[in-house]
Structure 1
């Protein structure tokens, strides 16, 4: 919010609360306090606050603004799968930009299933570091970058599909419908094989190998039970003739 917008906001406050005192320096203070917020969301918060009390304090308006922003973030169910080419700092900036877009109302509310199952990767477009300006940029961020490709020599588990939970490339693995922080071990193994220039393992072959291991273990245990008992540690002594 600019200083000119702060003056418009105070005119709105004066109309809602005629008895509230406003001095010549009030716009300067309100302009500094409401700089992080837009005029529209501040005016909406003023109406809510003025509806329950005779005077409008900046702290009450800011509290109302923050409550509505947190509500929009929660309803947007922001999911950021990350980008293996990003540094930790870049991933943090991307995540913060998405959260800000949701708080500003630039990301539409959606269910957790829609957030995880659309196949979209919520990442910043190339060359953009945020924060976003307007709904167009936020919409571009919601669409995200293209699905990552498996590259030889680079172990990127999210570039391949998961044969455990059937997650598509670019999406996180799930367990009981919830996104995992890590990937399934089988997906990581497939990514390692692709990076090494090998084809991914066949699930049927993995199952057959497990069955062979179980059968061999059972056979070994059965043979161990059939082995005859060996000599005991007890020693016997034979009588000896005493010499005279």
Structure 2
């Protein structure tokens, strides 16, 4: 982030939080703190934080930026085949570069099957991981194997986009909504997503069945006047 961009971020915060006070040197200090981060990421972080609280600190902006970058890395489902001729240090550098590219948004969200070279991503070159997969068979991993990536799919509960976390009442969740996890498991198994209308009908059917079962077990209260 440049000095001019840091000034713009400070002005952005001042516009979003009119009650927050800024001094003459506030943009300079913010610029030093936020210098390692991208200005567009910082703007999006300001919007997210301002939506849930009236004041914003640089630390809160950084926390939001890091959370979004972590979401992008997870949604990208990174696979690094490596090079048999490179050293451990070179491999570590390559993996860090790959993770940084995903965090920067250069690698879009993709499902597990695409990351393993079984989708429509011809840019993924064959390598050691592909060779290993070839020795163990060509069947796709099943849901039982736990091959799911919920954040690669949109959430039908909170409308979170692919690559972003679920939210509840405007706050970021540490986990995803159960419905999003179910959709990811069905996608990993090659099944279509659940129809919300059918799901609601099933919920109502179960509620009606539970109410009927409860009513059948209820007994009338005894009338003590009839006891002699």
TM-score (norm 2): 0.55
Contact 2:6 2:30 in 1 (8 A): yes
State the Cα RMSD in Å. 3.1
Could you tell me which residue of structure 2 aligns to residue 97 of structure 1?
A: 97
What corresponds to 2:123 in structure 1?
A: 143
Equivalent residue, structure 1, for 2:56: 56
Contact kept in structure 1, 2:77 and 2:112, CA below 8 Å: yes
Instruction: From 147, 165, 169, give the equivalent of 2:137.
Output: 165
Which structure is higher in helix share? 2
**Corresponding position of 2:12:** 12
Residue pairs, 1:7-46, within 5 angstroms: 7-46=7-46
Shift of 1:17: 1.0
Q: 1:4 to 1:161 in 2, by over 3 A?
A: closer
CA 28–162 in structure 1, closer or farther in 2 if over 3 Å, else same:
same
1:86-125 matches, within 5 Å, as 86-118=86-118
Runs of 4+ in 1 over 2 A off after TM superposition: 117-121, 156-167, 174-179
Segments of 5+ residues of structure 2 without an aligned counterpart are 148-228
Aligned positions, number:
145
Measured after TM superposition, the shift of residue 22 of structure 1 is 1.2
**Displacement of 1:118 after TM fit?**
4.1
Give the CA deviation at 1:163: 4.5
Tell me how far 1:165 sits from its aligned partner: 2.4
- Call closer, same or farther: CA 1:158–1:30 in 2, change over 3 Å: same
What's the CA shift string for 1:76-117, capped at 9, x where partnerless?
001101111111111111100110111111111011111002
Higher relative contact order (CA 8 A, sep 6+): 2
Bigger Rg over Cα:
1
| CA deviation after TM superposition for structure 1 residue 143, in Å | 3.2
With over 3 angstroms needed to count, the CA separation of the structure-2 counterparts of 1:120 and 1:93, relative to structure 1, is farther
Counterparts in 2 of 1:16 and 1:89: CA distance versus 1, 3 Å? same
CA distance in 2, matches of 1:5, 1:45: 14
SS at match of 1:105: coil
1:71 Cα shift?
A: 0.7
Rounded to whole Å, the distance in 2 between the matches of 1:80 and 1:178 is: 20
* 8 Å contact kept, 2:9–2:42: yes
Q: Deviations over 1:194-239 (max 9, x none)?
A: xxxxxxxxxxxxxxxxxxxxxxxxxxxxxxxxxxxxxxxxxxxxxx
- CA-CA distance at 1:52 after TM superposition: 1.2
